[in-house]
Amino acid sequence: MKVMISEDDFRVADLHARFLEMMDGVEVVGKAMNAKETLVMVQANQPDLLLLDVYMPDRLGIDILHEIRDRCPNVDIIMITAAKEKEAVEKSLKYGVVDYIIKPITLERFQQTLSDYMKRHDLIRQTETFDQGAVDELLKSASVKDEEPVPKGIDGLTLSKVEEMLKEAENGLTAEEASKQMGASKTTARRYLEYLISIRKGKAEMKYGRVGRPERKYYASH
């Protein structure tokens, strides 16, 4: 896979190149120092992937996205930049960049991004026609990447079921009611319900029962 780097700081460009050299099946075909060089080298090298900075001395990287597409229609673009402004992120996404990494980056984040991209690249190359399952597989890495890892004692599948139960319970659920639906202990049910509150997917209120004792009732966040 041919990868090109567009970065005005030669030390950062060299660092990215060294990261890439640690990966199998990757060839660095060029390093551009500004927008003008980027456009010339993209057209000449026709890379599979371009690592593009936003802040360059002559033009912004986001302002040459359309020209890059014109000169190299099949290139994929990953933004690696210090730009955090809404306009930069929004414009990049509208031009279909496959990832947006904010500096400073770690080796782990860089390699994970490239690994995910290479898997998608290989899947597209090896597949002639796509059914829904293949499309879901293609898009899966992007959605999974954004999910927060669940803590020890919380099962992801069970958590999804509890979250769905909460959404369907218009009048909310107590821990006891949730435990019956889950087929688990009241303590286990409460642990999952409290975890949903901690990640802002649930909320709780104190309600008074018929005997006057307060009980905690859980609701889905909307």
Domain 156-220 CATH class label? mainly alpha
The per-residue b/e assignment along 149-184, b for 16 or more CB within 10 angstroms, e otherwise, is eeeeeeeeeebeebbebbeebeebbbbebbbeebee
- pLDDT one digit per residue (tens) for the chain, 222 residues: 899 999 999 999 998 998 888 888 889 999 999 999 999 999 999 999 999 999 999 999 999 999 999 999 999 999 998 888 889 999 998 888 989 988 888 777 888 888 888 888 887 877 788 788 777 776 665 544 444 555 777 877 788 889 889 999 988 999 999 999 988 899 999 999 998 888 888 898 887 665 556 778 999 986
Concatenating the DSSP letter of every residue in 174-188 gives EHHHHHHHHTS-HHH
Per-residue confidence (pLDDT) for residue 140, from 0 to 100: 64
Q: Where in the chain is the domain with CATH 1.10.10.10?
A: 156-220
Tracing tokens 């290989």 back to the chain, one arrives at 122
Tracing tokens 């889950």 back to the chain, one arrives at 182
Q: Where in the chain is the domain with CATH 3.40.50.2300?
A: 2-107
The residue ranges of DSSP E strands in the chain, in sequence order, are 2-6, 27-32, 49-52, 76-81, 99-102, 173-174, 202-208, 214-220
Is residue 89 classed as helix, strand or coil in its secondary structure?
Answer: helix
Q: What is the CA radius of gyration of the chain?
A: 24
pTM for the complete prediction?
A: 0.61
Distance, in Å, from the CA atom of 37 to the CA atom of 61, rounded to the nearest integer, reads: 12
Domain 2-107 CATH class label? alpha beta
Say if CB 6 and CB 36 are below 8 A apart: no
Burial class (CB in 10 A: 0-12, 13-18, 19+), 148: exposed
